[in-house]
Structure 1
Amino acid sequence: MSTTPPPTVFTRTDPALGAFALRPVDPNTDGELLHGWVTHPKASFWLMGEATLPEVEREYHSIAAAAHHDAFLGLREGEPSFLVERYDPAHVELVGLYEPEPGDIGMHFLTAPAGEPLHGFTLTVITTVMEFLFTDPGVRRVVVEPDVRNTAVHALNKAVGFEESRRVAKPEKEALLSFCTREQFAAATGGAR
C-alpha cells in the first residue's frame, strides 16, 4: 500500500493565514484522521458521531468510488485541517427535494477540532472551498443543505454570498437549502467570477 498522499488539486494563499491546499481523500491512509474528526463532539452536524473506524473508512471508500460524489482533505501550511465533500445534487443528497439547474454543485465542509481557535480560520476555509469549486468553469451555483439548527454555518454561508431559499425535509435532518452563484460569491468576497 502506497503512503504517498494523492496530489494537490487546488492551492490558494490567504494573506493572514497562509497556504491552503486540497487533495483527494485517501480512505486507506486518511481514515483514522477523519474518524477522529467526524466523531468529535464539535462535528455533531456531520452525523457520524457514533461511527467506528471501519465505518468511516467504508464511507470514504464508497465516496471515492462514487460517480457523483468526492471528498478532499484540506491542508493549512501543509497540515490536515479540514474536510470537503463535493457532490452533484441532481444525483446525491437532494434528489427530489429541489429542481437542479445546469451548473449546480453541492458541498459540505468540516473543520478539524482545534485546541486553540485561529481567528478567521473557518471563514478562510469556506472561502477556499468556494474558490476551489468555482475553478470548474461548468459550475454556476453552489448548493448547500445544512441543518436548520446549525446557525454558525448559516452565518458563514451568508458571509460568502449564500442566499437562503427554504427548509427541506431530509431523512436525517431538516435542512436549510441555500444557493450561491459565482456573482454572489464575487460580490461578497471579491473571489472567483
Structure 2
Amino acid sequence: MTRPDTDRADRIGTFSTRPLDPVADAPLVHGWVTHPKAAFWLMGEAKLHDVEREYAAIAAHPHHDAFIGLHDGEPAFLIERYDPTEVELKGLYEAEPGDVGMHFLVAPADTPVHGFTRAVITAVMEFLFADPSVRRVVVEPDVTNGAVHALNKAVGFEVLREIAKPEKNALLSACTREQFEAATGGNDR
C-alpha cells in the first residue's frame, strides 16, 4: 500500500503497512490501545500481556489479521482485517460475497496534523481494496462514536442499521469500492 497521498503528500506523507508482530509490537500497541483517546477500542485497562495475548490470538486466527500502519516509515496506526462471516459480525448481518471487516486505530499524537486521520482511513481503505476479491468493507463502530461516523461517511460508508453486539450497540455500515471511489475521487485525489 505504499503510495503518497497525492493531494497532501507535502504535509501528510506516505503510508504503508506491515504485519503486526504480537510480541515485538505489543509494547507499542499497548500504549495506543490504553490511551484515553482509544476508549472505543475497549482495552483501556489492558496490561501488556493482555495485548500480546490478544494479538497472538488474532495472528493465529484463520479469519482475522492485524497490521501496523506506517507513516513515512514510522508506526502510526493499527489495522485489523477480518472475515465478517466468521469474526465480529457472524450471524448479525446478511453478508455479501466479497465482504471484509475492518477496525483501525490512529496512534495518539503529541502534535496532531490536520487531515491525518482522514488520510489514514483513506489509506486503510486503499489497502483493503487492493485485494481484488474485496467488494465491500463493513464496520461496526459504537453508536456513540461520532468522530468515526464522520470519517466513515467521508470515505463513502453508508449506515445500514444499528445492531446489538455483546460489548456495544454498533452502527453497522458498509462501503463498496464504487462508493469509496466516488467519495474520495479514486486515485485522482
TM range (shorter): over 0.9
2:103 aligned to which of 104, 108, 121:
108
1:167 maps to 162
Is 1:61 matched with 2:56?
A: yes
1:79 aligned to which of 46, 52, 74:
74
2:36 maps to 41
Q: Report the secondary structure of 1:142's partner residue.
A: strand
**C-alpha displacement at 1:191, in angstroms?**
2.1
1:12 maps to 3
> Which residues of 2 match residues 11-30 of structure 1 at below 5 A?
11-15=2-6, 16=8, 17-30=12-25
Is 1:70 matched with 2:68?
A: no
**C-alpha displacement at 1:14, in angstroms?**
1.2
The one-letter code matched in structure 2 to 1:12 is: R
Aligned equivalents of 2:185 and 2:3: distance in 1?
14
RMSD of aligned residue pairs (Cα, Å): 0.8
How many residues end up aligned between the 2 structures?
183
2:141 maps to 146
TM-score norm. by structure 2 comes to 0.95
Q: What runs of 5+ residues in structure 1 fail to find an aligned partner?
A: 1-9
Aligned equivalents of 2:5 and 2:135: distance in 1?
24
The one-letter code matched in structure 1 to 2:75 is: P
Q: Report the secondary structure of 1:29's partner residue.
A: coil
> Which residues of 2 match residues 177-192 of structure 1 at below 5 A?
177-191=172-186
Aligned equivalents of 1:108 and 1:179: distance in 2?
13
Q: Is contact 1:143–1:177 with CA below 8 Å preserved after alignment?
A: yes
Aligned equivalents of 2:62 and 2:31: distance in 1?
26
Aligned equivalents of 1:12 and 1:87: distance in 2?
23
1:119 maps to 114
TM-score norm. by structure 1 comes to 0.93
Aligned equivalents of 1:12 and 1:156: distance in 2?
20
1:7 maps to none
The one-letter code matched in structure 2 to 1:83 is: L
Aligned equivalents of 1:171 and 1:144: distance in 2?
15
Aligned equivalents of 1:191 and 1:51: distance in 2?
38
Aligned equivalents of 2:127 and 2:171: distance in 1?
23
The one-letter code matched in structure 2 to 1:183 is: E
Q: Report the secondary structure of 1:27's partner residue.
A: coil
User: Which digits, 9 at most, give the CA deviation of each residue in 1:43-91, with x for residues without a partner?
Assistant: 0000000011001000001101110000000010111100000000000
